[in-house]
Amino acid sequence: MKKILVPVDFSECSEHALRVASDLAKNYNAEIIALHMMGMNDNVLTNTQTKEMLEGIYYIRLAKKRFEKFLNKEFLKTVKVTDSVYNYTDFSELNKVAKENNADLIVMGSHGSSGLTEVFVGSNTEKVVRNSEIPVLVIKNKHDSFTIKNAVFACDFSSENQDVFNKAMKFYEILNSKVTLLYINVPGQNYRNTKEMETLVKNFLLKTNAIHLLNHVVYYNDYTVEDGIFNFSLENDIDAIALPTHGRRGLAHFFSGSISEDLVNHSDIPVITFKI
């Protein structure tokens, strides 16, 4: 991991994300790119009228000044930080910025006070997750010291998850994380007995050349997928919950069914997404 991109709106949430990014940067000798998106109308910056032009210059200088103060933090003293100001108005364009800067990870802060409806769906975070081709780590709270020693990767082990599974395993290999592969078995249409679950997962791992991880698979029964992920992670001191996501459909479709708001709303555990 060489570069970590952190969107900054100068809020407490983005400070939490910046703190986590600094811990990761120190551990892996990476650089942080702190990005502020002004969201101004392009006409303000390109208009030759004196008033509009001066207004654009003022807001650019104001952002730079706020960056100087915001980045003057003790936990950043030994980390290389580059601040950037872009005028993109849509957070879906963050993927373009990440690619331009060869970023390996995006770390974002989120309130998460009202569940996925507010954390992801219809929010800037959702737009980033939907469009990002690199992993997105979503942070809700302050972490005084952050590492991903124990991670969960949860999916339905369908064929469409094979590529993202390989990406996730490579990512966690870089972080030297211990990964548990989690299959949540729920009552109803998608219920499977033990043999069916084991066969499904074994075939998946054979196709992804990861059969050596068979002993790292946990089959967990619960009433809903999100409850199963949350309860298992809480019981096992998990540092991060990793999930695949469809770019075209957002976070409502981590799995073949749907996932409710409860997971992120009730869990303080960071969530990292990998785009299918």
Tokens of 275: 């785009």
Judgement on whether residues 203 and 97 belong to the same structural domain of the protein: no
In a domain, 145, yes or no: no
In a domain, 107, yes or no: yes
pLDDT at 66: 84
pLDDT at 104: 94
Size of the chain, expressed as the number of residues it contains: 276
**Secondary structure (3-state) at 189:** coil
Q: Which residue among 139, 172, 187 closes a domain?
A: 139
Positions in the chain whose pLDDT score sits under 50: 45, 113-122, 250-258, 260-262, 264-265
Counting DSSP H helices and E strands in the chain, the numbers are 10, 10
pLDDT at 125: 73
Judgement on whether residues 183 and 256 belong to the same structural domain of the protein: yes
Supply the DSSP symbol for 73: -
CATH number at 178 reads 3.40.50.620
pLDDT single digits (tens) 4-39: 999 988 889 899 999 999 999 999 999 999 988 765
In a domain, 231, yes or no: yes
Of all residues in the chain, the percent with pLDDT exceeding 70 is 77
Number of domains in the chain: 2
Judgement on whether residues 15 and 94 belong to the same structural domain of the protein: yes
Give the CA distances from residue 39 to residues 36, 60, 86, 123, 234, in Å, rounded to whole numbers and listed in that order.
9, 11, 8, 14, 38
In a domain, 144, yes or no: no
pLDDT single digits (tens) 69-88: 899 999 999 999 998 887 65
Other beta carbons within 10 angstroms of residue 250's beta carbon come to 17
Judgement on whether residues 174 and 251 belong to the same structural domain of the protein: yes
Judgement on whether residues 116 and 172 belong to the same structural domain of the protein: no
In a domain, 47, yes or no: yes
In a domain, 36, yes or no: yes
Residue recorded with tokens 């469009």 = 131
Judgement on whether residues 92 and 181 belong to the same structural domain of the protein: no
Q: Which domain holds residue 67?
A: 3-139
Judgement on whether residues 104 and 19 belong to the same structural domain of the protein: yes
Judgement on whether residues 115 and 193 belong to the same structural domain of the protein: no
